[in-house]
Structure 1
Amino acid sequence: MDNVRTEPTATFDRLEHLYDAVPRDVARAEEHGPLVLFVRDGPGWPFYARPRLDATAPASVADVTAVRQRQRELGQPEAFEWVHERHPDLLAVTRAAGLTVLEAPLMVLDPAATPAVPEDFTDVPVRLLDPAAPGFAADVAARRAVAAVAFAAAGTARGDAGPAQRDAAITELDPASLDEERARVADGRRLSVLAETPTEGALASAMAMPLGDTAEIAGVATLPSARRRGLGAAVTAALAGELRQAGTDLIFLSAGSEEIARVYLRVGFRRLGTACIAEPTALI
């Protein structure tokens, strides 16, 4: 955790508030001692458990184990997320409970930075998804397919998976999911972008979840065959620029690794702390 600046308590307060509030928009919250589990009953990306905002004591191994049991009952992933600087005890607790923890660089856009990518870094245009456009459903499906292919081969290394695999991963959205996505974009609760060319189609995607004057950028994904072209930086800069224009003064994200964090440094982000993501140890 070298080179992490000391941040005011208010900054972490705002992050904690967003982490707690965003899932409540589409999921119900179950309180389990000092932890809260967000449960999505309908279709969509499943959520996680995290420390309650009003918890007065840290979670124990027994607390984590009980929530994991509940997640299994619900058919949800056994996942926990938190900010290490706010809940430092949880790292050892989740590991003792048998979970593997990803310590991801938590980064914030420097207030003095202008989010932009040098013109010579990529020539692939980036566009904001429009919920009123006739092709919105196809755009959302493409964004999700790009993410599915990209996250199946995480990292920044180039690979073979590209447009063909993206097209094979495209599925038709059910009406409820599409209506939810359109409503969230239309009222500003979500921004989504695609980087695409006329010949290759969508190559990279990302989204942002604003809440008042704070926003998280997430789901930054590039098809393996299109990596090393600056597309991750391009979609991140595009979202950050839109958020800044809308008056968002705290923009943050979590990088999957130190290598990926270097992409965001180029856009104007800096290290804030560490975001922890705990999941069961993968069986090989």
Structure 2
Amino acid sequence: MNKLEIINLAKKYGNKTALNNFTYTFENGLYGLIGPNGAGKSTLMNILVEGISKTNGDVLYNGEKIEKLGKEYRNIIGYVPQQQGIYNNFSAEDFLNYMANLKGLNKKDISSKIKEVLEFVDLYGVRKNKLDGFSGGMKQRILIAQALLNNPEILILDEPTAGLDPKERIRIRNLIARISMNKIVIISTHIVSDIEFIAGNIVFLYGGELIRKGSPKELLKELENQVFEKIISEEQVENYNEKFLVSGLMSASTGIKIRYIDNDKLTDDEYAVEPNLEDYYLYIEKIKM
């Protein structure tokens, strides 16, 4: 069982604290890292992939500081950045060959490894096509493919489904779930519905601090019997927005179906529903404001 331990990790930019004494242990499995902009998610991920230096604290992999492990640690990391920084005039195959050489893979193994990862992300049939003709989802899958070339033990993905259509989001989500079976997989995202059913653990950051952690089931107990739905008129929407934390609006045949968070007593025309991570995200953000 691999273990990535983060102990009192901090990062400051002048007087601004981007990450404040973050402590957590990741083991094999899939972790959702969620929080609003400025929460410290990208800072944490960039420290873990050694893209930026930390101010204080330690990161240990299987008991050894990553600074001491050096290249050995970098060899077991796979990283999928938020920005699709790829070379559009490369074919998919050429791009992966380039990345494999940068990663220092054994030249005898490169061809078979490229075939393996292309088949895994379902892009082998377009391996000769240039990347500038790929859709956003295909580009995201090629970035996942490059991250898997060195068979990493830790895979870090920054907003992997941002900007994708629902079909590609589902495809990426399923790929990530398959990858996480024997690796540490950490996903930073604003689209909490994409990780609700695949993440074993959620790590919630706010203002550079860890404020909630646990399985989705454990976290959602906090909102038990506090999420409601009812049908209201269009004229009532503004009033509900002012009075409650509204997490959903949907047109219905008899009016507007509204979903909102409240701890008041039920009335006859509303009913409690199971909370989800989107409700929880809004709830935590609201109480921390």
Do the two structures share a fold, i.e. TM-score over 0.5? no
Q: What is the TM-score with the length of structure 1 in the denominator?
A: 0.31
The higher radius of gyration belongs to 2
- Larger relative contact order (C-alpha < 8 A, sep ≥ 6)? 1
